[in-house]
Amino acid sequence: MLPEHLRFSVHNGERVHLGITGSVAAYKAVELLRMLQELELQVSVTLTEAAARFVTPLTFQALDASPVYHGMWDGAESAFGHLEPAQEARCLLVAPATANTLAKMAHGIADDLLSTQALAFTGPVVVAPAMNPRLWDAPATQENLATLRGRGVRVLEPCSGRMACGEKGKGRLTDLRDIVAHCLKALTVQDMAGTQVLVSLGPTREFFDPARYWSNPSTGIMGGALAMAAWMRGAQVSVVHGPVDIWLPPAVSYTAVNTAREMFTACTDLWPAQDVGIMTAAVSDFSPVPHGPEKFKKRSLNSGEFTVPFAVNPDILRTLGHTKTTGQKLIGFCAETRDLAGYAAFKLKEKRCDLMVANSIASPGSGFGSPTNAVTVLDAHNRLEEWPVLPKAEVAWRLLEWLVHILR
């Protein structure tokens, strides 16, 4: 299943044509198909003769891929199957792609159905190679990849590891999430190309002793969705994140931190080079004064009471807002239990943001750990909107639509 921060609905109903070639990794195309369908994309499929030795066309037909092509001359679907993907699909995705198929695509050879479809296709093309490391490293393969990249084909390089043959090296099919993400990007208008975007996400942990810390339940889903949406739209994205498990494309830059002060340093260091800051992180406003390097023992208490002094952490959002240049835009988030509009208005002005998003952490289906959010959004021109409970990916997309309008 796809994680929540990848579940964008903006391309619902659009068609992707999936080409599958004769790699051992062909079986992974079944799960890849399901992931694409989770996004409500229409998926048609072509299997090469070699791919059909690993997984049958019937498998994809049973999973509602339509149409499913196989042989050049079988006539099962259409007399013009070699042309239909170019007429119907928005994106051609070849995964896994063998060295043989890459060579055909690079040199315009059209001797089977998939290579003919690829030659005729005029839209965005994504290829995810999978092969033995020797085939990947071969000069001919690398020259073919350079040719394809020069034509604008998105090449998702394979991972390193142990191969089916027992050898180790670079050749394993990349993460399916990366393939889906690049497919979404290929379908998306690049209206944030050339924009540098900084996103903070997740909680911070403020340690009292080696065993205990002060924190919150943030999972980083909202920030992950915003980072994904900005990357899909062509932005260069840098993420500063607390202790969360959020997958993002390898093209996104990561800085991992634990404490609020570490996040403050990372964000302020990166901020001067950014065009946009989106601060979704649930930063601890206070941190306990550390007990020390040893674990605190309750037997050291003289009574049943236990008091821990707290220190105020630096305000990241306010610092970025008060140091931003004329061209920089800043989006802030605040988690509230009541009066979302009032707190959004106060914090928008006090922290000098361009957009403030107040999300309810008291309403069902909203806030920490939830795949959905209910938010109130206010900008510096006093435009105010209250959105119902929506998937966080949908909230992220709407916010970036708002941001792109501001940037224009």
Q: Tell me if 233 sits within 8 A of 400, measured CB to CB.
A: yes
Binding site annotation covers 314? yes
User: Phi, psi (5° rounding) for residue 393?
Assistant: -65, -35
Q: State the angle between helix axes of 28-38 and 176-187 in degrees (0 to 180), rounded to the nearest 10.
A: 40
Q: Tell me if 46 sits within 8 A of 113, measured CB to CB.
A: yes
Among the listed residues 165, 183, 334, 353, the single catalytic one is: 165
Binding site annotation covers 175? no
Question: Which residues have a Cβ under 8 Å from the Cβ of 296 and sit 6 or more positions away?
Answer: 208, 209, 211, 212
Binding site annotation covers 285? yes
Binding site annotation covers 351? yes
Question: Which residues have a Cβ under 8 Å from the Cβ of 404 and sit 6 or more positions away?
Answer: 191, 192, 233
Cis peptide before 67 (omega within 30 of 0): yes
Chain CA centroid to CA 112, Å: 34
Binding site annotation covers 191? no
Q: Tell me if 171 sits within 8 A of 158, measured CB to CB.
A: yes
Return the closest-CA partner of residue 331 out of 247, 389, 395.
395
Cα angle vertex 81, ends 76, 84, to 5°?
135
Does the active-site annotation cover 165?
yes
User: Phi, psi (5° rounding) for residue 354?
Assistant: -95, -20
Binding site annotation covers 333? yes
Maximum separation of any 2 CA atoms in the chain, in Å:
87
Residue 30 to residue 301: CA distance in whole angstroms: 60
- Residues annotated within the binding site for CTP are 285, 295, 314-317, 333, 347, 351
Would you name the residues annotated as active-site residues? 165
